Chain A
């Protein structure tokens, strides 16, 4: 059950992504509507994070293309925000919570320029939205996991984007933070922003998301939660790994095989 939409905010066309030559995502075709809160769901190693990293240009695509707002990523970067996994950075870094949130303004500032008063205002305002204004001057290693995640969310808010990608924002946070974060995400999507979240807790999916993407090395489903989040499709996503598929992937890596016959010329949009 893969539902396509007109005028998508995100279009993924025949996307294959490999790590060390082994494909971890096979031929993904996907379109997503604007203004929705969207969850990417699937088992460990399904390629959930890889999908958004690939959309953000952080991993090279073996084939296929991605369009955001019907444009190339480069043309619309300032409309898009990406929140990496909390563990992806070393929090023992000499910076305060406010310093990190100010980084959300760097894209708008451009090279050389220092943050202005207006940027500080926006950063403080974003901290306040996530309930962290009292911790603005706190060193980031002193914050709890939930507070660090809120700082990351505040940094994303400070980017004032239209489309947000978040990698596991609920991983390792306390219940109060999870509730606060989902409230903010709902508010954002109510204002017409699109929020795409990598999520691992099946229990809260129907409660949190308007739209669900089911992923396990290939796209199993994409559509409104009520239509896609079904027992049948969940079984297809989680039940029985496609061992043949991953064996072929392993073989490609072992033999140092190219992913496409002409793998240098990734398919380009016409």
Chain B
């Protein structure tokens, strides 16, 4: 706990640097990655992330020591080269884009690992910090490195700020963007450059292997919570920053631990939570929605059965036993019981010593379901020319989904008919 307070009091300037650095890097790559995500270029992000490795190593081999500026140049060069090669291969040969991405990713990463091994064999990898390039180390974000990376992060955020409108349009409708005279190629080039830069600075905290997750996952998680692109980008930035902060903390309490995997675990947890819990798009919401629909169908079927019993005996308010209801329609006994109890709670049914009877509202609802069922049967026979003995099952489903508006249209279209195709009366009042 002590270390926790020590860290989050930010009293130590080194901690402050590392925190600021991690926040900036992860947030800016999440912001740029939002557009990579919306353009459905997730795999390209992964290819770039792996392809910067040979550049990083090469810059070290040529310059002899680790210098952030040189390193950025090197990483940028091979990252860019990989994108150009992917583009050339997929447009000038029979090889499809996904294959080209796979090819380039593995070739560049392979060369990178080869070079990294040579550097490590030479013995000074540890003092250069290059040994952390694969899985990241947030704690190394100090001094000169931090300044260089912070400047680039600021450039990324500002570029997205200025080109927000253009990036959005390009992601949604590229053809249209081109017809209104937007310099599509140039903007595409800019976005690609920003993506490569985001990777280049992000690898310091996350590492080349897992960097793609930092581009894509925050945006994918944010997408679950909102339908507004500006909110989505903000959320992605916040999610990214939060995982970056965790990475910095881990790096502080366990210096030998690589931070990349931790950052990715945190951001993935956020994504999983979003996947399940988010309103509207989340799995739980959808499951809950399905449950509500099943309940509604069950309850309306009970009311319908009671109404049909009343119709037969010309007495709608008679008390019925569960057995009587079951003569009209097969129900799962458990859901029949819970349905009956729910309908009582909602004021559609009354119950006296095991006998169930309609309230006024209950009769009205049961009657509406029966009416919709019969109207739909009539519609199917008249307008779709379906045989009368084939319309029942369709109507059994449709009766639960028709809105009052559709009900009115159906009535008008069929001109307020009195009987359905089986000569059953269609009840109106």
Contacts and interface: CB of A to CB of B under 8 A. Distances in A.
Contact of B229 (A58, A77, A95): A95
A238 B377 CA distance: 41
Given A94-B227, A95-B229, A106 B169 contact: yes
A143 interface: no
Contact of A93 (B166, B171, B226): B171
Contacts of A141: 227
Contacts of B223: 94
Interface string A85-119: 00011100111100110010011010111110000
A131 to B, nearest CB: 16
A106 B180 contact: yes
Interface of A: 53, 56-58, 74, 77-78, 80-82, 84, 88-90, 93-96, 99-100, 103, 106-107, 109, 111-115, 139, 141, 155, 159
30 contacts: A53-B175, A56-B178, A57-B178, A58-B179, A82-B176, A82-B179, A88-B175, A89-B172, A89-B173, A93-B172, A93-B229, A94-B223, A94-B226, A94-B228, A94-B231, A95-B168, A95-B172, A95-B227, A95-B228, A99-B229, A103-B172, A103-B173, A106-B166, A106-B169, A106-B177, A112-B162, A112-B163, A113-B165, A115-B165, A141-B227
Interface string B197-229: 000000000000000000000000001001111
A interface, over-half SS: mixed
Interface of B: 38, 40, 162-163, 165-166, 168-169, 171-173, 175-182, 223, 226-229, 231-232
Given A84-B173, A95-B172, A103-B172, A77 B180 contact: yes
B38 A93 contact: yes
A93 B179 CA distance: 20
B232 A57 contact: no
The 5 closest A-B pairs by CB, nearest first: A107-B180, A139-B227, A82-B179, A77-B181, A94-B229
Given A57-B178, A93-B171, A95-B229, 14 more contacts: A53-B175, A77-B181, A78-B181, A80-B179, A84-B173, A88-B175, A89-B172, A90-B172, A94-B232, A95-B172, A106-B165, A107-B181, A107-B182, A115-B165
Nearest to A53: B175
